Chains A and B, each alone.
Chain A
């Protein structure tokens, strides 16, 4: 799997990422680094603990990182969740769907990166 195919699999925009970071080496480096980023975990934990402020920050970070790497599918869902959590708003109907979507998109993204990682040159 190439990096480009990895982007296709997760619903991201490879060209956009290249346009931003200007080198395939950098894009690859940060795509792989995404696997180690703790924000998703923090998001799940703080949602489970009912800490909506912390959850907002975590979602916000995911959104920022996805933006820079042009992980557009996850970007969209994390952005929607960020807005739902902003300013300590109480849960609105439909929030669970938003969370589920972020979870699905995250899994899809991570799955694509892992597949890419296995085939990538060390």
Chain B
């Protein structure tokens, strides 16, 4: 696939952009930005797809220097060449632009041929550089990888022949590295660089290759060696050195040199009593000294046919106590320094992880020092992922978004952007007046809080809220995943997510809830739901003053009989309506059933006045020809407690008495009256077969 390369033109004058686009449009894809801020957004969006930026200096919102500052801040300037085009002629401007990393400066008025030539040259130059950089990165990586792989293979062959587990080589490698690092912390006597440490540790794996020349029956002899056998065994160090010396190539490689020293002298001792050469003190190269110690430590802590494995502490004590030969006192100090590290590292001997970390370190170092860019292959992979994502995102009808903290920007899928009436990229969305109208600020803050309080292990947040879409507010469910950096401690870097329109299902749900909680005919709460609310209310604030009233429409049966059930329903609706208007804000009104209703209220100190007010607004007058007469029983929680069923029963009892005492008024339940009421209610049934209602004026005194 040969794609056209993309050039970003950032210039506030449409004329200027058009002239440049015309000059270059044949060979390149052109994207345009009309100020610096938009230019940065484009860079953010298209990233390394952009092969070159043509940048104006004087622009509104953010000028060309602002763009260069951002490109430096986010290191884009390292990958994307910038040619500045400006009518500014002051040399200070030009100088400053070059300091900020531009590749070329073309002053206006410009010549079509020159612009074209310089653009092409710059792009070619960068492409070549990018390719070289990725080649070098990959080769270095490959080389490192291959050589350490070969060394591993080779040393393991030796080990397996030796009947060992293969761990010995790894351990010696790790121990050597740890010890060398400790040594460098203590002294610069040996002039060791980081590279030297890495080379010596890698070479340490080869310390026993000479054993390949030792006859197998001696090498794997279960019992103790005879003197003669031991003499043969001791030749392995010199044999290994000879093998390396015999290599036809690579004699100057630091790795081979280090391996030679290690092979030959890793059995020498500080006091000169080792073999094969009897070197002493610092005649022995430091590489061999370190491997010698590592070799001894690992031999002690491993099980052998002739001995059990010693613990770490025992081994360290034995070495420091001089039981295993004499070592450089400085090296002993290092062992003391890093004894704990050694134990920890060996306990968690996760070689794979270590190697990976190593590779990562190398990669990071390379990146920093050589200013190498991500390899071409990585970019291709990224590009592929981006294409996949864009394709799938374009298929779904969802608002998908990505938010990054630095630079603060919000990107939306094109469908989402259109839906919300926003551009696809919003820089500084928390400052953008248009973006701010999408969310209620409270919802926005809640969501931001929720995302900030996630953890890398549990980063997903679901949040329902209204979004301002088009001309209306619609319910949306936002599912977002916070992004955390890989640092320690992790840093919140933004989030990705989508917003789904759940408006209709939400309304349906609300509707169902409403159906479940409301009386269909009157629209008041139904009894079951009212009871639940009332109980919750009293439970939440048990100290409140509460009262419950139950009321009943007098002569309702005759209304039904005379004018029909349709009319009866109208009357009930009418009364419900009056109830709604009669009660106060926090009161609860409900239809208990039939023509029976309830009102639950909270009062401050004057219950009588409150009840009187409600009753007077409720009763009296007519609906068409039907006289609205209401009987009502009232009980206060102060009288009987806050148990709902008791309240209901007592209020009903009071109502019962009213019904039997001429109707059309109300009455309180009082304990002292209860006995008498009970007697009365026993005598006459409630709501008899009365005829037309009489004027009901009298109210019983309480």
- How many chain B residues touch A (CB < 8 A): the figure is 20
Please report the C-alpha to C-alpha distance between residue A19 and residue B113 in the assembled complex, in whole angstroms: 9
Q: Which residues B13-32 have CB closer than 8 A to chain A?
A: 13-16, 18-19, 22-23
Q: Known interface pairs A21-B112, A22-B113, A26-B22. Does A64 touch B16 (Cβ–Cβ under 8 Å)?
A: yes
Contacts of B14 in A (CB 8 A): 37-38
Instruction: Known A-B contacts: A33-B18, A65-B16. Give 7 more (CB < 8 A).
Output: A37-B13, A39-B13, A57-B12, A61-B58, A64-B86, A67-B87, A67-B108
Q: What are 13 A-B residue pairs whose CB atoms fall within 8 Å in the complex?
A: A21-B23, A26-B19, A29-B22, A30-B15, A30-B18, A37-B14, A60-B87, A64-B108, A65-B13, A67-B87, A67-B108, A68-B108, A68-B110
How does the 8 Å CB contact mask read for A77-96 relative to B, with 1 for contact and 0 for none? 00000000000000000000
Q: Which residues A18-76 have CB closer than 8 A to chain B?
A: 19-22, 26, 29-30, 33-34, 37-39, 54, 56-57, 60-61, 63-65, 67-70
Contacts of A56 in B (CB 8 A): 58
A residues contacting B by CB (< 8 A) are 19-22, 26, 29-30, 33-34, 37-39, 54, 56-57, 60-61, 63-65, 67-70
Please report the C-alpha to C-alpha distance between residue A67 and residue B107 in the assembled complex, in whole angstroms: 10
Contacts of A54 in B (CB 8 A): 60
Q: Is there an interface contact between A64 and B13, defined as CB atoms closer than 8 Å?
A: yes
Contacts of A70 in B (CB 8 A): 109
Residue in A21, A26, A57, A69 whose beta carbon sits within 8 Å of that of B58 in the complex: A57
A68 to chain B, nearest CB (A): 4
Q: Known interface pairs A20-B112, A70-B109. Does A60 touch B18 (Cβ–Cβ under 8 Å)?
A: no
Q: Which residues B72-119 have CB closer than 8 A to chain A?
A: 86-87, 108-113
Q: A17 — nearest CB in chain B belongs to which residue? A: B109
Contacts of B112 in A (CB 8 A): 20-22, 26
Contacts of B108 in A (CB 8 A): 64, 67-68
Contacts of B59 in A (CB 8 A): 57
Q: Is there an interface contact between A61 and B109, defined as CB atoms closer than 8 Å?
A: no
Q: Is there an interface contact between A63 and B87, defined as CB atoms closer than 8 Å?
A: yes
Contacts of A22 in B (CB 8 A): 112-113
Residue in A19, A37, A57, A60 whose beta carbon sits within 8 Å of that of B15 in the complex: A37
B60 to chain A, nearest CB (A): 6
Q: Is there an interface contact between B15 and A34, defined as CB atoms closer than 8 Å?
A: yes
How does the 8 Å CB contact mask read for B44-71 relative to A, with 1 for contact and 0 for none? 0000000000000011100000000000
A97 to chain B, nearest CB (A): 22
Q: Known interface pairs A26-B22, A60-B58. Does A67 touch B109 (Cβ–Cβ under 8 Å)?
A: yes
Q: Is there an interface contact between B109 and A68, defined as CB atoms closer than 8 Å?
A: yes
A70 to chain B, nearest CB (A): 7
Please report the C-alpha to C-alpha distance between residue A1 and residue B60 in the assembled complex, in whole angstroms: 38
Contacts of A68 in B (CB 8 A): 16, 19, 108-110
Contacts of A57 in B (CB 8 A): 12, 58-60
B111 to chain A, nearest CB (A): 5
Please report the C-alpha to C-alpha distance between residue A29 and residue B19 in the assembled complex, in whole angstroms: 9
Residue in A20, A26, A34 whose beta carbon sits within 8 Å of that of B110 in the complex: A20
Q: A70 — nearest CB in chain B belongs to which residue? A: B109
Please report the C-alpha to C-alpha distance between residue A63 and residue B16 in the assembled complex, in whole angstroms: 11
Please report the C-alpha to C-alpha distance between residue A39 and residue B111 in the assembled complex, in whole angstroms: 22
Q: B20 — nearest CB in chain A belongs to which residue? A: A68
Q: A33 — nearest CB in chain B belongs to which residue? A: B15
Please report the C-alpha to C-alpha distance between residue A20 and residue B23 in the assembled complex, in whole angstroms: 11
Q: Of A20, A33, A34, A56, which is in contact with the most chain B CB atoms at under 10 Å from its CB? A: A20
Q: Is there an interface contact between B15 and A65, defined as CB atoms closer than 8 Å?
A: yes
A64 to chain B, nearest CB (A): 4
A67 to chain B, nearest CB (A): 4
Q: B90 — nearest CB in chain A belongs to which residue? A: A86
Please report the C-alpha to C-alpha distance between residue A63 and residue B86 in the assembled complex, in whole angstroms: 11
Please report the C-alpha to C-alpha distance between residue A101 and residue B316 in the assembled complex, in whole angstroms: 93
Please report the C-alpha to C-alpha distance between residue A67 and residue B109 in the assembled complex, in whole angstroms: 5
Please report the C-alpha to C-alpha distance between residue A56 and residue B112 in the assembled complex, in whole angstroms: 26
Contacts of A61 in B (CB 8 A): 12-13, 15-16, 58
Q: B60 — nearest CB in chain A belongs to which residue? A: A57
How does the 8 Å CB contact mask read for B454-492 relative to A, with 1 for contact and 0 for none? 000000000000000000000000000000000000000
Q: A34 — nearest CB in chain B belongs to which residue? A: B15
Contacts of B113 in A (CB 8 A): 22
Contacts of A19 in B (CB 8 A): 111
B63 to chain A, nearest CB (A): 9
Contacts of B15 in A (CB 8 A): 30, 33-34, 37, 39, 61, 65
Q: Which residues B100-151 have CB closer than 8 A to chain A?
A: 108-113
A40 to chain B, nearest CB (A): 11
A75 to chain B, nearest CB (A): 8
Q: A53 — nearest CB in chain B belongs to which residue? A: B60
Q: Of B22, B109, B110, which is in contact with the most chain A CB atoms at under 10 Å from its CB? A: B109
Please report the C-alpha to C-alpha distance between residue A14 and residue B111 in the assembled complex, in whole angstroms: 14
Please report the C-alpha to C-alpha distance between residue A33 and residue B113 in the assembled complex, in whole angstroms: 21
Contacts of A69 in B (CB 8 A): 109
Q: Is there an interface contact between A30 and B12, defined as CB atoms closer than 8 Å?
A: no
Contacts of A21 in B (CB 8 A): 19, 23, 112
Q: B22 — nearest CB in chain A belongs to which residue? A: A26
Please report the C-alpha to C-alpha distance between residue A60 and residue B13 in the assembled complex, in whole angstroms: 10
Please report the C-alpha to C-alpha distance between residue A39 and residue B12 in the assembled complex, in whole angstroms: 10
A122 to chain B, nearest CB (A): 20
Contacts of A63 in B (CB 8 A): 87
Please report the C-alpha to C-alpha distance between residue A30 and residue B112 in the assembled complex, in whole angstroms: 13
Please report the C-alpha to C-alpha distance between residue A37 and residue B12 in the assembled complex, in whole angstroms: 11
**6 closest pairs, A vs B, by CB?**
A67-B109, A64-B87, A61-B13, A68-B109, A65-B15, A60-B58
Please report the C-alpha to C-alpha distance between residue A62 and residue B399 in the assembled complex, in whole angstroms: 41
Please report the C-alpha to C-alpha distance between residue A64 and residue B112 in the assembled complex, in whole angstroms: 15
Please report the C-alpha to C-alpha distance between residue A21 and residue B19 in the assembled complex, in whole angstroms: 9
Q: Is there an interface contact between A30 and B109, defined as CB atoms closer than 8 Å?
A: no
Residue in B18, B22, B60, B111 whose beta carbon sits within 8 Å of that of A20 in the complex: B111
Please report the C-alpha to C-alpha distance between residue A63 and residue B88 in the assembled complex, in whole angstroms: 10
Q: Is there an interface contact between B60 and A30, defined as CB atoms closer than 8 Å?
A: no
Please report the C-alpha to C-alpha distance between residue A108 and residue B75 in the assembled complex, in whole angstroms: 47
Q: Of B86, B87, B111, which is in contact with the most chain A CB atoms at under 10 Å from its CB? A: B87
Please report the C-alpha to C-alpha distance between residue A21 and residue B12 in the assembled complex, in whole angstroms: 20
Contacts of A39 in B (CB 8 A): 13, 15
Q: Is there an interface contact between B13 and A20, defined as CB atoms closer than 8 Å?
A: no
Q: Is there an interface contact between A20 and B87, defined as CB atoms closer than 8 Å?
A: no
Please report the C-alpha to C-alpha distance between residue A19 and residue B111 in the assembled complex, in whole angstroms: 7
Please report the C-alpha to C-alpha distance between residue A60 and residue B110 in the assembled complex, in whole angstroms: 15
Q: A79 — nearest CB in chain B belongs to which residue? A: B87
Contacts of A34 in B (CB 8 A): 15
Please report the C-alpha to C-alpha distance between residue A94 and residue B18 in the assembled complex, in whole angstroms: 35
Please report the C-alpha to C-alpha distance between residue A22 and residue B19 in the assembled complex, in whole angstroms: 12
B689 to chain A, nearest CB (A): 86
How does the 8 Å CB contact mask read for B2-16 relative to A, with 1 for contact and 0 for none? 000000000011111
Please report the C-alpha to C-alpha distance between residue A64 and residue B14 in the assembled complex, in whole angstroms: 12
B680 to chain A, nearest CB (A): 87
Contacts of A33 in B (CB 8 A): 15, 18
Q: A25 — nearest CB in chain B belongs to which residue? A: B22
Q: Of A56, A63, A68, which is in contact with the most chain B CB atoms at under 10 Å from its CB? A: A68
B601 to chain A, nearest CB (A): 61
